[in-house]
Amino acid sequence: MAATAVSNKRVILKRYVKGFPSEEDMEVVMGEAPLMAVPAGSAAVVVKNLYISCDPYMRNRMTRHEVPSYVEDYVPGEVLTNYGVMKVISSGHPDFKTGDLVWGITGWEEYTLIDNPESLSKINHPDLPLSYYTGVLGLPGLTAYSGFFEICKPKKGEYVFISAASGAVGQIVGQLAKITGCHVIGSAGSDEKVNLLKIKFGFDNAFNYKKELDLNAALKRYFPEGIDIYFENVGGATLDAVLPNMRLRGRIAACGMISQYNLEYPDGVCNLFYIVTKRLRMEGFLVFDYYGMYHRFEEEMAAYIKEGKITYVEDIVVGLDAAPAALIGLFTGRNIGKQLVAVSQE
């Protein structure tokens, strides 16, 4: 392949974010693409980005941290990075060849030079939608799977509550819980999402938290027996309402707290003494710790999808120009299902 320089549209961070992020914190610019062939002797690969994922945790990376955070800060002027699905267009690495479909960390741009291709995974089920590797077959899927099975340790018949339940992770947790034989109820921020939970994902019930004046009372109504497992995606007031409604020896898998990410001062949670009296276990986890189980997960999840046992709803915007708004939309709840950006046709 000839080493031609082509243009490379990219999304950069314009400035560090305080409080609620806006589209203006990012900028879509035309850059110069990396060489379309890797330099001789290099073990790098060049990829064409097909799909990129929009994830709430990216908000954390848009702030400058004095003490290093659990993920690296983005740098103003530099391209955003996150998980995506890519096609190898040039490879100096023995494990990858031109045309390979892979997923892993890439740039929010058309073409990316990846110096450490060991971080990439081959796509083993290209018969499924490739975009699924940003979601149900990618990190959100592994997050749901590892968090639910490894942290919640569910038993058949248990009562499961999931917040942000129609999101990238929540919809999978709910369906895994149903497969496990649990009774599953989810909350979401619109009636449309609530319908999705009930009709599409087979939740036993679901409610629109924005329509509940008293979340504690709502949970009492939906869980008269109490909650065995709470899959925590939102934090703040929801967590506070959940705690008194937990059953003895209940488990809370703390996956994320999206309601808190844009607050300068996080909300206070007052009901923690229930952790003592109800002998609760609240445990945080990050999917990075569970990479080791990815292949087992990928095979199991692909089989569920092919058997129709798990379905997945995506919210796909087309083109990098739409990427900043798609990312911001996660925090207003604009997305229905997993938010991602289709960057290029294969």
Binding region for its own copies (CB under 8 A) = 69-70, 235, 239, 254-257, 260, 265-286, 289
Other CB atoms closer than 10 Å to residue 306's CB: what's the count?
12
**Least distance to its own copies, CB of residue 292, Å:** 15
For its own copies, the closer CB: 18 or 122: 18
**Least distance to its own copies, CB of residue 284, Å:** 4
**Least distance to its own copies, CB of residue 53, Å:** 19
For its own copies, the closer CB: 228 or 315: 228
CA distances from 89 to 93, 112, 220 (A): 12, 10, 55
For its own copies, the closer CB: 117 or 140: 140
Residue 311 burial by CB count (10 A; 0-12/13-18/19+): exposed, middle or buried? middle
For its own copies, the closer CB: 116 or 277: 277
Q: What does the DSSP assignment read for 152-180?
A: I---TT-EEEESSTTSTTHHHHHHHHHHH
**Least distance to its own copies, CB of residue 47, Å:** 29
**Least distance to its own copies, CB of residue 226, Å:** 11
For its own copies, the closer CB: 20 or 273: 273
**Least distance to its own copies, CB of residue 142, Å:** 15
First CA to last CA distance, the chain: 18
For its own copies, the closer CB: 288 or 318: 288
Q: How far apart are CA 61 and CA 171, in angstroms?
A: 25
CA angle 343, 80, 36 (to 5 degrees): 55
Other CB atoms closer than 10 Å to residue 318's CB: what's the count?
13
Amino acid at 36: M
